[in-house]
A = this chain, B = another copy of it.
Amino acid sequence: MPTSDSDVQYNGERRRQLMNIALKRFAVDGYHATKISDIVGDAGVAQGTFYWYFKSKEAIFLEIIKEGREQLLAVISRGYRRDAGTVLDMVQASEAMLCRLFLFAEANRYLMELLLGRKAASDLINQAIADTRMAMENAFLLNIERAIELRMLPEAIDTRLRSSLLMSLIEGVISRWLFESMFPGNGVEGKTAQQLAAETAKFEFFGLLGI
């Protein structure tokens, strides 16, 4: 029988299929509430098949995070600042990066829910998530330090604190934007990634007093 049926994924694709299904289930239902039987049920394979591809429930989660982390960091790291510029340049650069990040989040909302959501599980998993977030924050830190080096930001500021504040801001924005059901009536729903990036960048540099 040729492997041309529609909803079956072939060969090396089974692994992918299971990861995709698991990602969605983990994001929507949470780690604990997601049963292996749910995952294989969605995939239309037997329970044992899962264990051909993954050592355990924890293992597939970790792998999902690991893969997502790489993609996410690639998005943030791109566009590292090279030359000095005006304040406007700086705001625009930040806006561009945030825009890329929000677009990525929009396209990978289940992954973002895993990373930013409040559904985690075992110590190992929590650690993997925390690591990923730290890596993100670090990317922001590097950008701020570079801007100081180029004398675009005042030298006096506490860079680690500021990158923490920035990361907090962004986590909150993405959460409210994508998981609206959890944050009804917030100020971000319905906005485009572009709009959000502009507003966030403005707040980042000028605070509440910036128009």
**Is A10 engaged at the interface, CB distance under 8 Å to the other chain?**
no
| Min distance, Cβ A34 to any Cβ of chain B, angstroms | 12
Stretch at the interface among A14-22, A62-70, A71-79, A126-134: A126-134
Stretch at the interface among A1-9, A99-107, A162-170: A162-170
Residues of B within 8 A of A153 (CB): 208-209
Please tell me which one of the listed residues B120, B130, B165, B188 contacts residue A161 in the complex, with CB atoms under 8 A apart.
B188
**Is A44 engaged at the interface, CB distance under 8 Å to the other chain?**
no
Interface contact B183-A162, CB-CB below 8 Å: no
The interface bits of chain A over 172-187 (1 if a CB of B lies within 8 angstroms of the residue's CB, else 0) are 1101100000111111
Interface majority SS on A: helix, strand, loop or mixed? helix
| Min distance, Cβ A94 to any Cβ of chain B, angstroms | 9
Q: Which of A53-97 contact B (CB under 8 A)?
A: 87
**Could you tell me the distance between the alpha carbons of A164 and B170 in the complex, rounded to whole angstroms?**
11
**Is A151 engaged at the interface, CB distance under 8 Å to the other chain?**
no
> Are A130 and B172 CB-contacts (below 8 A) given A153-B209, A203-B207, A208-B157?
no
Interface contact A121-B176, CB-CB below 8 Å: no
Total number of A residues with any Cβ neighbor in B under 8 Å? 56
Residues of B within 8 A of A119 (CB): 118, 120
Residues of B within 8 A of A168 (CB): 168-173, 175-176
Please tell me which one of the listed residues B133, B183, B211 contacts residue A156 in the complex, with CB atoms under 8 A apart.
B211
| Min distance, Cβ A200 to any Cβ of chain B, angstroms | 7
Please tell me which one of the listed residues B117, B162, B200 contacts residue A165 in the complex, with CB atoms under 8 A apart.
B200
A positions within 8 Å CB-CB of B: 30, 32, 87, 117-121, 126, 129-130, 133-134, 137, 144, 153-154, 156-173, 175-176, 182-188, 199-200, 202-211
**CB<8 Å pairs between A and B, sample of 15:** A118-B129, A126-B182, A137-B183, A160-B185, A162-B208, A164-B176, A165-B173, A167-B172, A168-B169, A168-B171, A168-B173, A168-B175, A169-B169, A202-B207, A206-B209
